[in-house]
Amino acid sequence: MYDFLWWWMFALLPIPWLVRWLLKPAQQQAGVALHVPFLEDFQQQGNSLLARSWHGWLALLLATLAWVALVTASARPVWIGDSVALPVAGRDLMMAVDLSGSMQEQDFILGGQVVDRLVATKAVAGEFIRSRSGDRIGLVLFGDQAYLQAPLTFDRQTVLKLLNESAIGLAGERTAIGDAIGLALKRLQASPEKNRVLILMTDGANTAGSVSPLEAADMAATAGLKIYTVGIGSESDQMRSVFGFQLMNPAADLDERTLKGIAEKTGGMYFRARDTEEFQRIYAELDRLEPVEQEAEQWRPQMELFRWPLLAAFVLTLLAAALRMERE
């Protein structure tokens, strides 16, 4: 559709007629009567006057059209396109996944089969990533060191693919929780402070890296990074062996105290994932705590069209001036 942003400029249209009506015309000098003895000469003079009159009316018409075009350009005509939905602003969310050797512990059940901790993490975290429409998501993998596997992106399918391609021991056998927090913080520095979120998933204690987890948490808190920590591993259980039943604790290495401290310092929360169902409830709670649904904004593209009537006014003015000069 077409519209005029400054439509009130059309109030200027009658100005030339008002000026002509209010101001007195210039006084014309009385001409001297001429005696024309020959009829041919009189007829030629009449034709010349008629031509001059025709040129005058055409010049007046062109000048009028030029004025209308100039006022139309001043009114800022625009073409307005169809409504376009703007992208929904969401969170900048980093996910840090532990790939240390202990993640191969098979204490989760998925689809009726016993799987290791990393497989369960991929399955449940994958559903979480798919649900985060509007968020930019990044992926950090950590073991002996922390590595950026995927920078912040709206391409959730790529993040899912990179997560599914990760393997235990890819980043080393130990656990560098502090380095993982530091790397995530570095990648989120350019994001708006209120939108920075890190989800840290680990099944152990910090055994590697150059920065302690709590020191990294202090830096994250200062920078406005909120951290949700997830402790992975089943509860103690009795297992049959050649020596009879023995009490096993697959999550004995999990440092829950440090994970709770990280969450408290940064305004996040600590969650315990003992089985797949609890894992799923954790991500459902994270969706509730960090919602992505926001009111979608609509925008209509606009294209300025004032150049065309302005060009028309210029051309019409030149034509009117040329006719006036020819008349004279």
Q: Which residue has the tokens 């191969």?
A: 104
Q: Is the pLDDT of residue 243 over 50?
A: no
Mean pLDDT, residues 199-215 = 87
> What's residue 23's pLDDT?
75
| pLDDT-derived band at 228, boundaries 50, 70, 90 | very high
Q: What is the DSSP string of 78-108?
A: EEE---EEPPPP--EEEEEEE-SGGGG---E
**How would residue 161 be classed by pLDDT, with cut points 50, 70 and 90?**
very high
Phi/psi region, residue 76 (left: phi>0; alpha: psi -120 to 50; beta: rest), is left
pLDDT in tens, 291-307: 754 545 566 777 888 88
Whether 184 shows a pLDDT value over 90: the answer reads yes
Q: Is the pLDDT of residue 235 over 70?
A: no
DSSP string, 151-182: EEES-HHHHHHHHHH--TTTT-SS--HHHHHH
Sign of CA dihedral 312, 317, 322, 324: positive
Mean pLDDT to the nearest integer, 163-171 = 87
Which residue ranges make up each domain of the chain? 2-21+40-82+300-327, 92-289
- Select 92-289's CATH number: 3.30.1360.40, 3.30.420.40, 3.90.1640.10, 3.40.50.410: 3.40.50.410
List of residues 6+ apart from 278 with CB closer than 8 A: 272
Average pLDDT over every residue of 157-166 = 92
Q: In this model, does residue 3 exceed pLDDT 90? A: no
Q: Write down the mean pLDDT value for the chain.
A: 79
* Span 43-49, average pLDDT: 49
Q: 275 or 197: whose pLDDT is higher?
A: 197
pLDDT in tens, 283-292: 888 888 777 5
Residue 328 has pLDDT above 80, yes or no: no
User: Whole-angstrom Cα distance, residue 212 to residue 214?
Assistant: 6
Q: Per-residue pLDDT for 50 more than 90?
A: no
Q: What CA–CA distances, in Å, run from 95 to 45, 137, 184?
A: 94, 7, 8
Q: In whole angstroms, what is the distance from residue 69 CA to residue 218 CA?
A: 65
Confidence of residue 94 (pLDDT cuts 50, 70, 90): very high
* Of 313 and 325, the one with more pLDDT: 313
Strand, helix or coil for residue 46: helix
Query: 226 or 49, which is more confident?
Result: 226
Q: Quote the pLDDT of residue 210.
A: 84
pLDDT score for 27: 60
pTM of structure? 0.60
Percent of the chain with pLDDT over 70: 78
